[in-house]
Structure 1
Amino acid sequence: MANQFEFIAIEGVIGAGKTSLAKLLSERNSARLVLEQFKDNPFLPKFYEDRERYAFPTQMAFLASRFKQQQDMLSKDLFHQMTISDYIFEKDRIFARLNLEDDELALYDSIFDIMTGISAKPDLVIYLQSSVDRLMENIRQRDRDYERNITRTYLEELSESYNHFFYHYNKSPLMIINTSEIDFVSNKKHLDYIEEQIFDQPIRTNTHIHIIPD
């Protein structure tokens, strides 16, 4: 492999396939896998029922959980040379800016700014970009109880926020993969191509990968 990474982070809107891709790449490359612990957030189901009421406790619970994972990632793993995660720490602020009131956001930002300076920095970030139609279909197929209340409007707002964030992202090399019409879970050729672009091709900032579906 031409490219040797210690830390790869995969990002995308809810339903984009970031966890699936992280799992597949970690299995193929014997990497340590770090997954976001969304199931441990007791406020998340309530948030999807009432965003305004539960946005702040949901966000603070995620911030604490993600920071704890970041601290663990800073410790060397004697059994793995590479770590692959299904999120970056900075993504937390995307949700905060979308969901919190001004006074809540001010308090959140004061805490986030302290934490972000001591979080793990990826050698490569992969952003899975997808259409809202595909996101809705993926969410429907996996049928998680607490995601049944996610609205199309919320996904549209979130997609716009993600696109804006990664349009300006410059903290690590960034690879953008459009996943609207591909299936790297079921189609080995798609996964092979993605893996080749990551590990065997020169990585530049804002590399866009387009896979033509079979």
Structure 2
Amino acid sequence: MIKLKSKFIVVEGAIGAGKTSLVLLLSKRFNAKHNLEVVEENPFLSKFYDDIERYAFQTQIFFLLSRYKQQLELAQQDLFNQSVFSDYLFAKDRIFAHLNLSGNELSMYERLYEIMVKDIPRPDLIIYLQASTEMLMKRIALRDRPFERKMSFEYMRRLN
């Protein structure tokens, strides 16, 4: 069995890039734990794709708090004894916030983020997956998640 030198490994990329699939493969291959982003539990997500401007703040705050809770739990685990693969980087939340929020909402988000980021474990390695916007849209359509059905090509182009 191959022993990993890196203990906390993050796979990042746009929506539909294959992050979760790769994390599940790698964690199985290296007998490691996996930390997966909780997307389906966000009660605002399907409404967000219907009306981004109206639901951006609620959606973003839910993700920030959810990711923060997951990352704190990860930090409390023993990262020294077993490797962990994660399908998201905490800092990505801030990227989404800057794409979707503005004004007072972005300012409030930034205040919360700055308080939380100090507690987040830093990855030893980040793997970044890339794909064309066209390919991402095909993959999103194939997996057919209800909350992603109204995701626009233009929104994905901005993310990519």
The interval holding the TM-score normalised by the smaller chain is: over 0.9
CA distance in 2, matches of 1:155, 1:63: 20
Identity among equivalent pairs (%): 51
In the TM superposition, what is the alpha-carbon distance from 1:5 to its structure 2 partner? 1.1
Deviation string for 1:188-214 (max 9, x for gaps)? xxxxxxxxxxxxxxxxxxxxxxxxxxx
Which residue matches 1:57? 58
Which residue matches 1:15? 16
CA distance in 1, matches of 2:157, 2:88: 19
User: 2:29 aligned with 1:32, yes or no?
Assistant: no
Deviation string for 1:133-167 (max 9, x for gaps)? 110110111111111100100000111xxxxxxxx
Q: Which amino acid aligns with 2:102?
A: E
3-state SS, counterpart of residue 41 of structure 1: coil
Gaps of 5+ in 1: 160-214
Which residue matches 2:158? 157
Deviation string for 1:104-123 (max 9, x for gaps)? 10110011011111101100
In the TM superposition, what is the alpha-carbon distance from 1:3 to its structure 2 partner? 5.0
Gaps of 5+ in 2: none
**TM-score, normalising length from structure 1?**
0.72
After the TM superposition, list the runs of 4 or more consecutive aligned residues in structure 1 that deviate by more than 4 angstroms.
none
CA distance in 2, matches of 1:3, 1:27: 13
Which residue matches 1:126? 127
Which residue matches 1:135? 136
Which residue matches 2:69? 68
Q: Which amino acid aligns with 1:54?
A: Y
In the TM superposition, what is the alpha-carbon distance from 1:76 to its structure 2 partner? 2.5
Deviation string for 1:10-41 (max 9, x for gaps)? 11111000000000000111111100011111
Deviation string for 1:67-108 (max 9, x for gaps)? 000100112349x61000000100000110000022110110
Q: Which amino acid aligns with 1:115?
A: M
3-state SS, counterpart of residue 74 of structure 1: helix
Conservation of the 8 A alpha-carbon contact between 2:4 and 2:83: no
CA distance in 1, matches of 2:50, 2:78: 39
In the TM superposition, what is the alpha-carbon distance from 1:2 to its structure 2 partner? 7.6
CA distance in 2, matches of 1:3, 1:84: 11
Q: Which amino acid aligns with 2:114?
A: D
3-state SS, counterpart of residue 10 of structure 1: strand
CA distance in 2, matches of 1:139, 1:40: 18
Please list, as runs of the form range in 1=range in 2, the aligned pairs for 1:61-210 lying within 5 A after superposition. Answer: 61-77=62-78, 81-159=82-160
Which residue matches 1:204? none
3-state SS, counterpart of residue 46 of structure 2: helix
